[in-house]
Structure 1
């Protein structure tokens, strides 16, 4: 065994075995537009049409010349990539450009402050940490206020300018005649008990927000979440098709604390709302959950419920953002104005690793900058390529967004026609723009052993992806938590010929599934 082979097999060998079983274990050596190339047995390059698109990262395709040119210019100039604790002009320009888009698409005047990171999951972690940091500071302010009011009540009782009626003790469940010391101890104990409660996040069932310690707690798939469930505070999951459950969660978790105030010479108890909820986190379009679109009615319902309890809304645009849906922010299409919004994947133009969490000015805590940092975040190289990517997307009055919408309509029409022609094979078509999902009916009763086995073992989408790659040289994958749904996230450079090629391949696949053709399904 060569050294190179040994090293390769030490890099996630189980994953390599799985790719080999699917017949997709090739090494791509070149990429441009929507095409990847690997070297075949005869030494010639083999082109593969890429509809996976880096899981949504390649809105401008592989190695876009404008972004490659910016990278070369940057490196040729000798600009330092890592010069932490210095002015970062490129990152500031990215934040300004994103604010311009936010104002245009959401009609907001309030600025959004940017906290940069390196990946989508990390951008979610930033949002979770900042939201909890904000909540903790609010809890402290409330507790300090109650302590101050207790002191004022003590002073008023001591100098005889106020009285403590038995109604105060009764309201707190204390014995009649309980004095200010007992009352103060009860109030302080209740505040301390609530302050010790762990953070509480709410999110949508079916969502995917990453696999880091915090973000995985909001990822609904138990296979990803359960092994790490004890490592961080848990989330409450609300079904998208039953948002009444959101009202139930809020009613169950909502809390108040007693506060003592002196009113016209009488000490009275006032119940104060306690900051319980750290944030509601959702994707505008659930990517790994099967390309499920949050509609305007659901967005309005979530916003109203969260506003009533001062719970900030975090919109995960990691996969749906960057113009993929026909607007820069998918949330803008449904009026989902965020308190926090996260971007990654396409932000680096398919070359750099870049992510950002944008925090609405009224929520932003500048002190957060002292308790959170990341060595490689906001580096000059990734910021420069992010700015280039934004300029390309915004060029010609946002022509890229219009093209994404148009191409999305054409692909949706293709999938809809496929469903009409193969109703027993294709179950549903979902998505928006160039973030689309094609769901298949259950094939566990198929007479073809490979098809039935894949369906029974929840690997159907991967088996189908293997067929498309081996037989038609088309690359895509299922969504991670809904494996009967194939995802299609090509770039805005998609051509008529590439669309026609997909149509041919999917019709061949549908025929194989309809005919339960074992030989054809395992070909290649």
Structure 2
């Protein structure tokens, strides 16, 4: 196993940083700026979550460290009475609110929380610790158990017994739990501002009332000021704004001055006890070196009558007002602005219906603010951070030394982000991922062509009774542009690079929730589109186990959402072998290929009629005939067409020839059975004519061949070849791996390959040909539409629904029109038929017929003929037909 150097510290985080170009190696830090190894300078607006209070390498902190070095002060002298630690403890006692007296020093905030938990339990003899939902108190086991976010706890067996969580800012909830567990609760721990929860400040009076309730019920009141303390909110301690006097107060982060790890659990004589004092200790506690830094921090904050903190408060008010103004200016983008002092959170609205599956996907997989952070870092050289607990919120937490001009610069950059989001010019947020770090100047407005999700209208009391999910991905780069109009600014090469970048994620995400689709029978279903981050080329080139696992996760997500059937879109069916690799996961599965086959052939034959093609005498072709859709199309095409060529993959000649030969035998056997059933049409009609020719010959060889024919319950290519050789006629069906010389002779073409690239170009088509391209990604190159106005190129598998529903961007089609593979999933949900369908490489013709019947029952029918992304009229097709006539006439001269 190869281990990358940049993954040695934390490979999980390293991959995330690399994905969003956040993986800078900062080699120099001074003041509020960092410089990376390439010499690029960045404004730091994270301050290590408050642990860099005075910027990088503040001189007065180094002076404190130099004092320790000059005087050779011993760092670790336990058990003893270390002077620097005692001086810091005395300073903390003098400055802290109430009667907080005793300092228990440690190296981190989490360790301070652990000490507080032990102190509360030892002081009261009780076990239960109450904390708030969305709180964050650290990641050691006790602190993690107090942290109010299940996602961080579950993998580690947290919370351990003895922890209860209640809503934040809800004094009634606190009183209720104190009353319910009276005599059992040791302590209540709370943050004055929920930092990781999204910069949520305590409501006025909340902390004071909490203090009073804790006193009333004999519960230790613990205020976690690890992030809020030491000037961050414009006060030395946030709780002193309302005169709150905790039993225990916790400090860390800023106490180390940005250079050393230092935390403290401050406690009142009311709760400090000998059990705790004699049994709790730490090797690195009471460290003279770190405590010397802590003293320097407190001296700096309190000099000149706390003038520095007053300046912090003014700058915090300025930052908050700037953020509020941004929220007022972009109310459709910014959901809420929260915070206190230099702790500000800007929460964006969820991208559940934003006109872009990409943005919806990123929001669902918690990557939206990481995208913004990467954009701001690489384009504006601003270092911001998303939240652990609130993935739609940006954290603004600069060093306390931030300047007004630096605040203005950051807010100007954030306004540009808001403009991009408001006008849905999303591509500008992604360009930096391709190495384009230019600041966007003009923001284009795509709202007018951005489509909203629209379900069937429901009457009062109506609700969806059935549920489905459907897995989607981008088959080709043109689909990115269809879904995100702003990506039209990307070249095809850039689109492929963007799709390569998307594979950095391997998790599925919900990109659309369809609230209601009504059948003409009155049944109603709801469903979810689930995106996987792979393009067609990527999904076919990555190791199969990787893509299969991604599809399996998507199926599981659909199941967990409540879907009872999951459909496989585009190449998710191919890589799972027609769905076989995702069966048996507690939910029904369909590839959607049966209804796709029906709609493709309906479109082909409708187009043939409008192009005045004599279908029985035409030559049909199936490109990609070895696939499940291609095979079924070939069999059903043979019901109408006598002469058919099957085209396989020249890159796999042996397997393609074997499978094509098998399909030819299957087609003949099918035609043979249809003739016996009296269905004399298409290939069966040709067989009937051949039998008549044999009967008219009436010689010994003819009678021998006729007897062979009638004695067989099936039919084979070998027998047909022998009959054709005798009669001197050509076989009606054949196969080929040579698209260059074969396709130009064909009139009706189904394109259904699994190729990630275009395979049909202008020179491959005869004048007047009709092609139904059902492949995803498309088989037909856009050049054909540009250069050939004498051929009809139809998008296959398009279905019109009973109601004009829209799946958001809806794959580029008009209201009420969508893909047949998705429609098969919806039909089975509306029918309440939660069994596996259309699985494997051989579609059952009985299933195809069943789906045809479901379509008629529920009112799903072929949409109008679509060419080049728009529905074509009879006049359009007649023009194409006349162009073909002129082309044929010119070729004959």
TM-score normalised by the chain length of structure 1: 0.79
Q: CA-to-partner distance for each residue in 1:150-194, whole Å, 9 max, x for gaps? A: xxxxxxxxxxxxxxxxxxxxxxxxxxxxxxxxxxxxxxxxxxxxx
1:132 to 121, 128, 138: 121
Could you say which residue in structure 1 is the equivalent of 2:128? 200
Is the counterpart of residue 252 in structure 1 residue 180 in structure 2? yes
Structure 1 residue runs of 5 or longer lacking an equivalent are: 137-197, 255-274
The one of 157, 160, 168 aligned to 1:232: 160
C-alpha separation in 2, matches of 1:503 and 1:444: 26
**Paired residue for 1:473?**
381
Indicate whether 1:47 and 2:41 are aligned: yes
1:408-453 CA distances to partner (integer Å, 9 max, x unpaired)? 1111121111112111111211111111111111123223444222
Specify the alignment match of 1:299 in structure 2.
207
Moved more, 280-289 or 415-424: 415-424
1:406-421 pair list within 5 angstroms: 406-421=314-329
The alignment's C-alpha RMSD in Å is: 1.9
Instruction: With a CA cutoff of 8 Å and minimum separation of 6, indicate the structure with the bigger relative contact order.
Output: 1
Alignment of 1:60-209 (within 5 A): 60-102=54-96, 106=97, 108=98, 110-136=99-125, 199-209=127-137
Aligned partner of 1:314 in structure 2 is 222
* Aligned mates of 2:269, 2:263 — CA distance in 1: 19
- Aligned to 1:336, what secondary structure does the other structure show? coil
Q: Deviations over 1:328-365 (max 9, x none)?
A: 11011133211000000000100010000000122211
Q: SS in structure 2 opposite 1:438?
A: strand
Q: Which residue does 1:350 correspond to in 2?
A: 258
The equivalent residue for 1:396 is 304
**In 2, are the aligned partners of 1:217 and 1:229 still within 8 Å (CA)?**
no
CA shift, 1:514, in A, is 1.1
Q: 1:377 to 1:489 in 2, by over 3 A?
A: same
Q: What is the SS of the residue equivalent to 1:49? A: strand
Give the conservation status (yes or no) of the 8 Å contact 2:20–2:370. Answer: yes
Contact residue 53 and residue 254 of structure 2 kept, 8 A: yes
Query: Could you tell me whether the CA contact under 8 Å between 1:299 and 1:335 is conserved in 2?
Result: no
The aligned counterpart of 2:623 is none
Instruction: Quote the residue 2:186 is aligned against.
Output: 278
Distance (whole Å) between structure 2 residues aligned to residue 297 and residue 73 of structure 1 = 43
Q: Does the Cα contact within 8 Å between 2:153 and 2:159 map onto a contact in 1?
A: no
**2:281 corresponds to:** 373
d(CA) in 2 for partners of 1:457, 1:64: 38
Q: In the alignment, is residue 14 of structure 1 matched against residue 3 of structure 2?
A: no
Deviates most, 17-26 or 61-70:
61-70
What are the residue-to-residue correspondences of 1:429-508 with 2, within 5 Å?
429-508=337-416
Contact 2:46/2:399 (8 A) holds in 1 = no
5+ residue gaps, structure 2: 433-893
SS, match of residue 104 in structure 2: strand
Match of 1:214, SS? helix
SS state of the match for residue 482, structure 1?
coil
Contact 2:47 2:399 in 1 (8 A): yes
Helix, strand or coil for the counterpart of 1:523? Answer: helix
C-alpha distance in 1, partners of 2:147/2:278? 28
Q: Is 1:125–1:214's contact at 8 Å kept on the other side of the alignment?
A: yes
When structure 1 is superposed on structure 2, of 83-92 and 14-23 the one drifting more is 83-92
Quick check: 1:451–1:516 contact (8 Å CA) kept in 2? no
1:405 is matched with which residue? 313
The total of aligned residue pairs comes to: 432
Q: Is the 8 A contact 2:100 2:266 kept in 1?
A: no
Q: Does structure 2 conserve the Cα–Cα contact (< 8 Å) formed by 1:393 and 1:401?
A: yes
Distance in 2 (alpha carbons) for counterparts of 1:253 and 1:500: 49
1:204–1:370 distance in 2 versus 1, CA, 3 Å? same
Aligned to 1:215: 143
Shift of 1:493: 1.7
Change (3 A) 1:34 1:370: same
Q: Indicate if the aligned counterparts of 1:451 and 1:521 stay in contact, CA closer than 8 A.
A: no
Give 1:403 shift: 0.9
2-structure distance, mates of 1:345, 1:241: 24
1:229 deviates by 3.7
Task: Spell out structure 1 runs of 4+ moving beyond 6 A.
Answer: none
Measured against aligned partners, the alpha-carbon deviations of 1:445-495 in whole angstroms (never above 9, x if no partner) come to 223444222112122222211111121111111221112111111122212
Q: Does the CA contact (< 8 Å) of 1:51 and 1:475 recur in 2?
A: yes
Shift of the alpha carbon at 1:15? 1.1
Conserved 8 A contact 1:323-1:393: yes
Retained in 2: the 8 A contact 1:214–1:232?
Answer: yes
- Tell me, in whole angstroms, the C-alpha distance in 1 between the residues paired with 2:309 and 2:285: 27
Write the distance in 2 (CA, Å) between the matches of 1:357 and 1:202: 18
- Measure, in 2, the Cα distance between the counterparts of 1:223 and 1:489: 24
**Equivalent residues of 2:222, 2:249 under 8 A apart:** yes
CA contact (8 A) 1:240 1:298 kept: no
- Is 2:413 aligned against 1:424? no
2: CA distance, partners of 1:412 / 1:19: 28
Counterpart contact for 1:295–1:334, Cα < 8 Å: no
Distance (Å, rounded) in 1 between the aligned partners of 2:418 and 2:239: 33
Cα shift readout 1:112-147 (whole Å, capped 9, x = no counterpart): 1010011000000000011111122xxxxxxxxxxx
Secondary structure class of the residue paired with 1:402: helix
TM-score normalised according to structure 2 size: 0.47
Structure 1 residue 244, shift from structure 2 partner: 1.8
- Report the Cα distance in structure 2 between the residues aligned to 1:307 and 1:84, rounded to whole angstroms: 35
